[in-house]
C-alpha cells in the first residue's frame, strides 16, 4: 500500500480517478448524501463506471464499487479487471481523505482477482492524499 497525491499519479491512474469522480455525480444517495463513484479499468483499456444506488430499505443499497465491478464481469466476462478507482463527494466536496471499499466489496474484489488470476489495483482518492493498493490481498488478507 502506498500513499501519494493526485498530482503525482500517472496519466492512466489520474484518468481512472477522474472517471470515478465524474461517476459520483450521478450517484443515487438520498439517504446518506454520500455520493460515491467508481471506475473499473479492464485489461483491454475499457473503463466501466458505477456509483452507489441507495434504497429506502437500507439493506438493498449497493456500493459504487459493486455496481461497476459486477456490470464489468456481466458484460465483459473474458476481460480481467486490472484496476478500480474510488472517489466520494459529500456536501458538494470530494473527501480530503481516501474512501476505502467496504468489507463486502473487498470480498467481491477478491473473488474477481482469483477468477481472472490477475491483480486488481485499488486507487482510493482523497483531495489531500490518495492510497494505492497493488493487490486486493493488501485490503483483505487471508481472504476466504
Ligand atoms: N459506499 C460506497 O458506495 N462505497 C464505499 O466504498 C463506501 C460506502 C456507499 C454506501 C452508501 O450508499 C453510502 O456510501 C454511505 O455509506
pLDDT per residue over 34-82, tens digit each?
999 999 999 999 999 999 999 999 999 999 999 999 999 999 999 999 9
Residue of the CA atom closest to atom 14 of ligand 1:
34
Q: pTM higher than 0.95 for the full model? A: yes
Q: What angle do CA 94, 34, 63 make, to 5 degrees?
A: 110
Phi, psi of 62 (to 5 degrees): -125, 135
Q: Which domains does the chain have, with CATH numbers?
A: 2-138 (3.40.140.10)
Kindly give the distance from the C-alpha atom of residue 122 to the centroid of ligand 1, in angstroms, as a whole number.
16
Buried b (16+ CB within 10 A) or exposed e, 4-43: eebeebeeebbebbbbbbebbeebebeeeebbbbbbbbbe
Mean pLDDT, the chain, integer: 98
Asked if residue 65 has its Cβ within 6 Å of ligand 1, the reply is: yes
The predicted structure's pLDDT at residue 108 = 98
Exactly one of 13, 54, 65, 127 is catalytic; name it. 65
Amino acid at each position: 500500500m502506498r500513499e501519494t497525491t493526485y498530482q503525482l499519479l500517472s496519466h492512466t491512474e489520474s484518468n481512472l480517478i477522474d472517471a470515478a469522480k465524474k461517476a459520483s455525480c450521478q450517484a443515487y444517495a438520498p439517504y446518506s448524501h454520500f455520493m460515491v463513484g467508481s471506475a473499473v479499468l479492464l485489461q483491454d483499456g475499457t473503463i466501466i463506471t458505477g456509483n452507489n444506488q441507495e434504497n429506502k430499505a437500507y439493506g438493498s443499497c449497493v456500493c459504487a464499487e459493486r455496481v461497476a465491478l459486477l456490470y464489468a464481469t456481466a458484460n465483459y466476462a473474458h476481460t480481467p479487471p486490472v484496476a478500480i478507482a474510488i472517489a466520494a463527494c459529500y456536501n458538494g466536496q470530494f473527501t480530503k481523505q481516501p474512501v476505502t471499499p467496504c468489507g463486502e466489496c473487498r470480498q467481491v474484489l477478491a473473488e474477481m482477482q482469483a477468477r481472472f488470476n490477475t491483480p486488481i489495483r485499488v486507487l482510493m482518492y482523497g483531495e489531500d492524499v490518495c492510497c494505492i493498493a497493488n493487490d486486493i490481498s493488501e485490503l483483505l488478507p487471508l481472504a476466504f
